[in-house]
A and B are shown apart, each in its own frame.
Chain A
Amino acid sequence: MSVFRRILQTSIFRLSLVYAVLFSLIAAAALLSVYKVAENQIKDQIDTRLTLETNLLLENYKKRAVKGLLEDINIYNKKEGRPFYIYALIHQSKLDLSRFIPTDKNTITRKNKTFASIPLGNIVEYVPDRDANEMVRMMLTKLPRGYQLLVGAELKEMQSLLNQLFKATLIAISVIFALSTLIGSFMAYKMLNRINNVTQTADNIIEGDLSHRIPVVSDRNNEFDRLGRSLNRMLGRNEELMDSMREVTNNLAHDLRNPLNRIRHRIESAKLEEVTELGFEQFSDDTIHDIDGVIATFNALLSIAQIESGEPRKDWVGFELNTLLDDLAETYEAVAEEKKLIWEYQVTDRLLMSGNQHLIAQLFTNLLDNAFKYSTQGGKIIVKAMKINDSNHSPQIAVTISDNGPGIPLEEHEKVFKRFHRLDSARSTEGNGLGLSLVKAVANLHQAKIHFSDNQPGLCVEVRFSKQKA
């Protein structure tokens, strides 16, 4: 019952009801005019026929007077089957037929001929085998010496035809009204249902279950499905963000707890022990190191948040990526030499791009830092950059950095971008698990794609910028 009431309240139902009423009225007017036209048409036809029949009889009357006329009438009335027409010659002294003629018709009577529809009961005694209840359409012709010639036609069939037409019209109008109301309700119900789904999903989410989604039919593409899909994408993104926020908070708490705990323990034991000058030096160095680690974590988090806010777009410039990479290469080649790694640098093209230079430098620094961190003596680090065309023939810049370190397992390829995600689950190696998150944030800001592949052994990272006009 409440569903019914809700349907009644929907604007779509009200609108469709208005349409139903309007449409029914128009249809009724149309059908009624059709009915009227049909009625007149039938009447005209009958009247024409009556005139014809009358003229035929009058032809004979002219030749053979009343006697001939009566003969004809008798023959006509006795025709096989049940004749449609009625013929009679009645003297005015027996029955004055003109009193059946409506007074207004009297005035327009021409040539002594008048049409009228009369009940047969009045004249049934002059025509054989007729039902007194029948209505006839008659044509009355006044003849000399008080004779009246009556040619009539049964109206029963016409009446029933018109009755049927009228009924059909009524039925059609009711059906149109009922159908349009029904369709309106159905549409309102469907729409209400879909909107209810959205409301229900929203309510569930408000209550805290973020995993709820608006039901959509996958292979359909109406506006509700599109709206639903858009909203679902938004909800998905929100849930992802909420999840990552939660994860970040948890991880941050965990990652801070360790150095803070170490600092606390160190201070506690320093309070208990007699501290030598050398011991104090160690104590303060360790403590500063731990605190610097905490600060670095916060700074990295803030940087990522700032990059994700899109704010660094203000410092967009056109620049030569190859020059930036040359600079990095000079810096890191020295490190490679020190760590006894093989360094290969293959950047020859002039690579124009636009972006935030500082962030791009940081992106490649982080990737190089990782390559160096995981490379062992004798490993090979290769940096390449070139212009390429993708499948759509749009120019792009691809920078790859490959190493012979342990690599990243396939199932971790997406996860490593999460804040605080560490391949080393014991979190015992140096690092805060934010380096690749920052790389990803910078890449997203520049609409660049990052792709990991197996360098057999090792990792190959490709950063691909769709080349913009500098």
Chain B
Amino acid sequence: MQILIIEDDIQTAQFIQKGLQESGFVADHVADGELGLQQAISNQYDALVIDRMLPKLDGLSIIEQLRGQGFNVPILILSALGDVDQRVAGLKAGGDDYLVKPYAFSELLARLQALLRRNQPNQEVNHLQVGDLKMDLLKRQVTRANINIDLQPKEFILLETLMRNVGEVITRTMLLEKVWDYNFDPQTNVIDVHISRIRGKIDKDFDVPLLKTVRGSGYILNNPSHSTSSEG
């Protein structure tokens, strides 16, 4: 997987580059907008990480030009501008996700991976399966080893999010955005509580735990057999 980082702060860029390389990506870096646009057009990248404020050509203009020329590569915008409005402007310009500085690298990685997965051909599914955990999206039923599991609506969406991203870290912020539609972090540990309730329902009475906490970044639902995660 090839990623292009367009970021004028050299230290930040090197930090992201190093992190992505350690996670198995090939990461290129350019420091100004014009070069970034050229590079993005002339190479087949799997995803772009673009800072909003760049010399010569700003991030949003790069994205608009790329989208205008029909590039649909996933784009993650990085920005120090964090209002809801700025976020909306970024997504409107054609960005796929928006990350406000300062951020944790694990957050960036998780979001990038989610974007890459989203970009893969994605047929409509009505069933999700991770190991012996099955979710029927139409009947809104969840079973594990054929035992019915009763979930509250929020718990259902939470589990669905984790199951759709099986094997990938989902950060707390991502869960807040996807499940609760919050762009703020409640002081109360609502996520922990809900995760622990889901864990109590899907893992407690079974030998192999599926849901794991990744310290300092988020949660991951693992497929114990390492086989494909979702079925049509």
**Interface residue count for B (Cβ, 8 Å)?**
25
Say yes or no: is A365 at the interface (Cβ < 8 Å to chain B): yes
Say yes or no: is A348 at the interface (Cβ < 8 Å to chain B): no
**A299 B82 Cβ-Cβ under 8 A:** yes
Say yes or no: is B153 at the interface (Cβ < 8 Å to chain A): yes
**B196 A331 Cβ-Cβ under 8 A:** no
**A330 B182 Cβ-Cβ under 8 A:** no
Say yes or no: is B180 at the interface (Cβ < 8 Å to chain A): yes
Q: Which residues of B contact A167 (CB under 8 A)?
A: none
**A334 B194 Cβ-Cβ under 8 A:** yes
Of B84, B183, B185, B188, most buried by chain A (CB within 10 Å of CB) is B188
Q: Which residues of B contact A335 (CB under 8 A)?
A: 188-190, 193
Q: Is the interface of B mostly helix, strand, loop or mixed?
A: loop
**B187 A431 Cβ-Cβ under 8 A:** yes
Say yes or no: is A65 at the interface (Cβ < 8 Å to chain B): no
Interface string of B80-99 (1 = CB under 8 A from A): 00111100000000000000
**B185 A296 Cβ-Cβ under 8 A:** yes
Say yes or no: is A69 at the interface (Cβ < 8 Å to chain B): no
Q: Which residues of A contact B197 (CB under 8 A)?
A: 334
Interface residues of B in 139-183 (CB under 8 A from A): 152-154, 180-183
Q: Which residues of B contact A369 (CB under 8 A)?
A: 186-188
Interface residues of A in 341-370 (CB under 8 A from B): 358, 361-362, 365-366, 368-369
How far is the CB of B128 from the nearest CB of chain A, in Å?
A: 22
Interface residues of A in 304-345 (CB under 8 A from B): 306, 311-312, 314-315, 327, 330-332, 334-335, 338
Say yes or no: is B70 at the interface (Cβ < 8 Å to chain A): no
Say yes or no: is A303 at the interface (Cβ < 8 Å to chain B): yes
**Interface residue count for A (Cβ, 8 Å)?**
32
* Least CB separation from A357: chain B residue: B181
**A338 B183 Cβ-Cβ under 8 A:** no
**B85 A311 Cβ-Cβ under 8 A:** yes
* Least CB separation from B152: chain A residue: A330
**B193 A358 Cβ-Cβ under 8 A:** no
* Least CB separation from A303: chain B residue: B184
How far is the CB of B21 from the nearest CB of chain A, in Å?
A: 20
**A331 B185 Cβ-Cβ under 8 A:** no
**B188 A368 Cβ-Cβ under 8 A:** yes
Selected from A296, A331, A358, A365, the residue in CB contact (under 8 A) with B154 is: A331
Q: Which residues of A contact B180 (CB under 8 A)?
A: 327, 331
Say yes or no: is A285 at the interface (Cβ < 8 Å to chain B): yes
Q: Which residues of B contact A332 (CB under 8 A)?
A: 188, 190
Q: Which residues of A contact B182 (CB under 8 A)?
A: 358, 361-362, 365
Interface string of A440-464 (1 = CB under 8 A from B): 0000000000000000000000000
* Least CB separation from A314: chain B residue: B85
How far is the CB of A297 from the nearest CB of chain B, in Å?
A: 12
Say yes or no: is A288 at the interface (Cβ < 8 Å to chain B): yes
Q: How far is the CA of A335 from the CA of B197 in the complex (A)?
A: 10
How far is the CB of A215 from the nearest CB of chain B, in Å?
A: 43
Quick one: given A302-B82, A335-B193, A358-B183, are A330 and B188 in contact (CB under 8 Å)?
no
Q: Which residues of A contact B83 (CB under 8 A)?
A: 302, 306, 311
Interface residues of B in 179-231 (CB under 8 A from A): 180-190, 193-194, 196-197, 216
Say yes or no: is A170 at the interface (Cβ < 8 Å to chain B): no
Q: How far is the CA of A332 from the CA of B193 in the complex (A)?
A: 9
* Least CB separation from B189: chain A residue: A335
Say yes or no: is A420 at the interface (Cβ < 8 Å to chain B): no
**B188 A372 Cβ-Cβ under 8 A:** yes
How far is the CB of B198 from the nearest CB of chain A, in Å?
A: 10
**Please, could you name 17 A-B residue pairs with CB atoms under 8 Å apart, sorted by A?**
A288-B104, A302-B82, A303-B184, A306-B83, A311-B85, A314-B85, A327-B154, A330-B153, A330-B154, A334-B190, A338-B196, A358-B183, A361-B182, A365-B188, A369-B187, A369-B188, A435-B187
- Chain A interface residues (CB < 8 Å from chain B): 285, 288, 291, 295-296, 299, 302-303, 306, 311-312, 314-315, 327, 330-332, 334-335, 338, 358, 361-362, 365-366, 368-369, 372-373, 430-431, 435
- Chain B interface residues (CB < 8 Å from chain A): 82-85, 102, 104, 152-154, 180-190, 193-194, 196-197, 216
The 5 closest A-B pairs by CB, nearest first: A369-B187, A365-B186, A335-B193, A369-B188, A338-B193
